[in-house]
Amino acid sequence: GIQVEQSPPDLILQEGANSTLRCNFSDSVNNLQWFHQNPWGQLINLFYIPSGTKQNGRLSATTVATERYSLLYISSSQTTDSGVYFCAGSNYQLIWGAGTKLIIKP
């Protein structure tokens, strides 16, 4: 089955910094999503992005399907951005990566 690898596993930044999170897939997928799990455990869908680039406020994502990777950019980080960021991809059932744990310090 598809393997999903996320990097880095942990990231600690000061408020206001920018960050790039990466997601690599072992095989091509026709569905790729990014999720944020906040410190209280709630999961929020950020982007559905099987290819191309999307932006939503300070967050943007780019997927290069031919090279089997996706990037999530967070600009001007805020403490509320803390949590775990997951990518998940599939051709049928979503396969999730282990996540990047992001801590934003004030």
Partner 1 sequence: NAGVTQTPKFRILKIGQSMTLQCAQDMNHNYMYWYRQDPGMGLKLIYYSVGAGITDKGEVPNGYNVSRSTTEDFPLRLELAAPSQTSVYFCASSRDRVSNQPQHFGDGTRLSIL
Q: Which is nearer to partner 1, 14 or 42 (CB)?
A: 42
Record the tokens describing residue 28, joined without a space. Answer: 């091509």
Q: Which is nearer to partner 1, 25 or 86 (CB)?
A: 86
Contact 106, 13 (CB under 8 A): no
- Which helix (H) or strand (E) covers residue 12, if one does? strand 10-14
Pseudo-torsion of CA 3, 80, 103, 95, nearest 10°?
-10
Helix (H, G, I), strand (E, B) or coil at 52: strand
Give the one residue of 2, 7, 73, 96 binding partner 1; rule: CB under 8 A: 96
Record the tokens describing residue 103, joined without a space. Answer: 């801590």
Shortest approach of partner 1 to residue 101 CB, angstroms?
A: 9
Is residue 75 within the footprint of partner 1 (CB under 8 A)?
no
The rounded distance, in Å, linking the Cα atoms of 86 and 68 is 16
User: 10 to 69, contacts with partner 1 by CB under 8 A?
Assistant: 30-31, 33, 41-45, 48
Shortest approach of partner 1 to residue 91 CB, angstroms?
A: 8
Shortest approach of partner 1 to residue 97 CB, angstroms?
A: 5
Residues that bind partner 1 (CB under 8 A): 4, 30-31, 33, 41-45, 48, 86, 88, 90-99
